[in-house]
Chains A and B, each alone.
Chain A
């Protein structure tokens, strides 16, 4: 491992150097007529990067685009992105964990490897960014993630004012950073320590078993109350960094049609509707239950880790401010009243 410490101007030089070999995406502030939002975009200009705000949409959009062609029927060939190597700068811990989840689902499962996803993912290098303080509604520390540091990114940045610490964890990248001034490891540890403390001060307590007991929670009577105000739009799933549900569709005429892998949302009623008209999840509380249970029970049962990383985007973006933390608190209360919570694995 290598620790480097550079100032803004040095970083800018480094950025310009990296630009020659990589496409670089980073969170930038974008004027969207009625709103201004921070989003991941490909950029050329170092000064455009917004270091201070958590991005309003997740880097999922780059790795797993909303509409991705899978193949077509006239060439019988699959599409693989042959783009240049990409760096995604300024990915915070929650999003790194989320990408880890996506990797688990699409690459690390022996049963099915999404070749298109893999081809895209192989070209992408994550450059993490340590969170200096809590963002508006995030709670990744409550779920057991570390907002200040993550090991899944090969490169990790700690921004302190105009100074940048860079942790190079992958040997592959050492040559790029070799000539930069070294940073003092102890000083960095101090910074990390300080930041962790600011998070501990403002964290909220949650004591639920992971995975949630599947059958017990499924039959719980709290879902209607939780989802009463839910409108049933797809914002929470589209802006969620881990939501990966998708739909295959064919577009175009016979003989020249293309198969797409499109995002889908479990909050839509059409998501699980059969052609016969039967719908196993025909009401919004059932759909909401499925979303929460998928994140906290089904996903942990099928893979390691959680389906929610606590980035808080679903809370911020929700048009009726439906709060997943309230749902978790209600779950905690329910299980407590039931007398001792058991994990779904037992």
Chain B
């Protein structure tokens, strides 16, 4: 929650180190502003990303996720992102079927030169997640919003 009591989502952003991570860097060094809601996890390639990481992010209380890799055809490892694409499509299908709103899962491509686009992507992702509100966890019990806040087990 921000000062105006509006919901500020926490988004786990998995960025490919060869493109989107560099794009985030570029956005920063070009002083393009974008929302501070993402928590970046740098991955060597989206193809390396175990879909479990996304499920685990929700398990641990991320309000949404953003995965961004190289554009198809531009992968540093030739075809890592093409494998990843299928995986994310399937994961997305399953998560939506299980009742996780589509807006929480954001997959996209973003090259190293697209600093501006990256900022736009983050804005869109934050917008999307804001639409569906805070993530209540798979158990519907919610997570404490403040980082570091303690949750003491009720017994």
> Is A in direct contact with B (CB under 8 Å) within the complex?
yes
B152, A69: Cβ atoms closer than 8 Å: no
In the complex formed, the residue of A with least CB distance to B148 is A253
Q: Which residues of A contact B155 (CB under 8 A)?
A: 69, 79
Minimum CB distance partner of A81 in chain B: B155
Alpha-carbon gap, A252 to B144, bound state (A)? 14
| Range of interface residues on B (Cβ < 8 Å) | under 10
The SS class assigned to the A binding surface is loop
Residues of chain A within 8 A of B151, CB atoms compared: 252, 256
Q: How far is the CB of A28 from chain B (nearest CB, A)?
A: 25
Chain B binding surface, main DSSP class? loop
Say if the beta carbon of A258 comes within 8 Å of chain B: yes
From residue B153, how far is it (CB to closest CB) to chain A in Å?
A: 5
* Cα separation A168 to B151 with both chains bound (whole Å): 46
What 0/1 readout, one digit per residue, does chain B (112-155) give for beta carbons within 8 Å of chain A?
00000000000000000000000000000000000000111101
A230 to B9, CA, bound (A): 47
> Which residues of chain B are near A79, meaning CB under 8 Å?
155
Chain B residues near A69: list those with CB within 8 A: 153, 155
Bound-complex Cα distance A252 to B151 (A): 9
A74 interfacial by beta-carbon distance below 8 Å: yes
Query: Which residues of B are found within 8 Å of A258, using beta-carbon distances?
Result: 153
Decide if B153 touches A74 in the complex (CB within 8 Å): no
A146 within 8 A of B: no
11 more contacts with CB within 8 A, not counting A72-B153, A74-B152, A253-B150, are A69-B153, A69-B155, A79-B155, A251-B153, A252-B151, A252-B153, A255-B150, A256-B150, A256-B151, A256-B152, A258-B153
Residues of A within 8 A of B (CB): 69, 72, 74, 79, 251-253, 255-256, 258
14 A-B contacts (beta carbon < 8 Å): A69-B153, A69-B155, A72-B153, A74-B152, A79-B155, A251-B153, A252-B151, A252-B153, A253-B150, A255-B150, A256-B150, A256-B151, A256-B152, A258-B153
